[in-house]
Amino acid sequence: MTQMTFARAINSGLRKSLENDPKVILMGEDIGTLGGVFRVTDGLQKDFGTHRVVDTPLAESAIMGTAVGLAYRGYRPVVEIQFDGFIYPAFDQIVSQVAKLHYRTQGAVKMPITIRVPFGGGIGSPEHHSESPEAYFTHTSGLRVVSVSNPQDAHTVIQQAILSDDPVLYFEPKRRYHDKGEVDEGIDPRTALSMDTARVVTEGTDVTLVAYGPLVKTARDAATAAADEGISIEVIDLRSLAPVDYATVEASVRKTGRLVVTHEAAQSGGLGAEVAASITERCFYHLEAAPVRITGFDIPYPFSKLEMHHLPGLDRILDGVDRALGRPNSLSGLEG
């Protein structure tokens, strides 16, 4: 076991994939000489060469189109989108080509493309640099969408994504890049917990709290704080956003009778709505209260001085827990 930051864990996972398969190619803006704006790919071009770690033009659509051509020829391209809000020029390529080629060709063409997306807020950056666009892609059949929350998963799941013959959007919570944790670099990604499986990270009996990516840490802090008041929260790290591991969430809600879902993305049309609706259908007679969503507000991402009011924090999540439990609270008039 090695202590490493979230960013270094991704770097280590990418390195192992490059070592294990000569068909793996990294592509992105400034990922080579600079090592990426967050230094996640630092040192990889030096060790594997400019033909394996490729600095691309500032053209996301061209990057994705090139990745499609490489996948056609048997390569496993790993594309970095420099910031979440920069993905939209590549949106047509992803949803019209990458997501559909396998189905359209009746399995003759595989699209083993991994799309790394640093996402979410909390770093003091404006719109285009702090967004949470995951719902656009979870809505699109043919794409796998994952979001990791800790260094071990960051290391293992990036390797699983690269090994997958399906296209995978790999959402990295950028405000967690400097968080440290224990990483076992010897875990075989082929035998590790599947990337489409959710994990119960804190056991509890009163409320199920579902989170992913940057808010898993906040959710665990909420469970610790609630325990001081005698409230037992079960925290689930969703990990896979498409497909969703509803079996794990359902089993928890059948036990607790209450559901709170939190994410940074806006509430309307967000993944939390889909989770709440699906669990209501599956667990209607087990629910003691309506599911509660704690999310970002339905606004463009705000300026840095306001972002911590926009992002779900400890107080807002605990307020959601109170609402699910029918307890009086001071924030009950807030939406999201």
Residue 207's nearest CA partner among 246, 262, 244 is 262
pLDDT of residue 127: 86
User: CB under 8 Å to 298, separation ≥6 — which residues?
Assistant: 266, 267, 268, 336
pLDDT at 333: 46
Environment class of residue 330 by beta-carbon count within 10 Å: exposed (0-12), middle (13-18) or buried (19+)?
A: exposed
Which tokens hold the place of 96?
Answer: 């019209």
For the chain, how many residues are written? 336
The order of strands in the sheet holding 240-242 is 53-55, 24-28, 76-80, 114-119, 168-173, 144-147, 240-242
199-325: same fold as 2-183?
A: yes
38 near 177, Cβ under 8 Å? yes
Nearby residues of 281 by Cβ (< 8 Å), 6 or more positions away: none
Q: Based on C-alpha coordinates, what's the Rg of the chain?
A: 20
Strands (E), 102-258: 114-119, 144-147, 168-173, 180-183, 199-202, 207-211, 233-237, 240-242
DSSP result, 260-312:
EEEEEEESTT-HHHHHHHHHHHHHGGG-SS--EEEEE-SSSPPPGGGHHHHS-
- At 329 the pLDDT is 66
- Phi then psi for residue 40, to 5 deg, are -70, -35
Domain boundaries 2-183, CATH class: alpha beta
- How far apart (Å, rounded) are the C-alpha atoms in residues 315 and 322? 10
Q: What is the pLDDT of residue 284?
A: 97
- Given this model, what pLDDT does residue 328 score? 74
The Cα 330–Cα 239 span in angstroms is: 31
CATH 3.40.50.920 fits domain 199-325: yes
Q: Which residues are catalytic?
A: 129
* DSSP category for residue 93: I
Angle, CA 304 vertex, CA 300 and CA 306 arms, to 5°: 70
Distance CA 240, CA 153 (A): 11
What's the predicted TM-score (pTM) here? 0.95
Contact, 134 vs 295, CB < 8 A?
no
The mean pLDDT values, 10 residues at a time, for the chain of 336 residues are 96 98 98 96 97 97 96 97 96 96 93 97 90 97 97 98 98 97 96 97 98 98 96 98 98 98 97 98 97 97 92 97 85 49
Give the residue extent of every domain in the chain. 2-183, 199-325
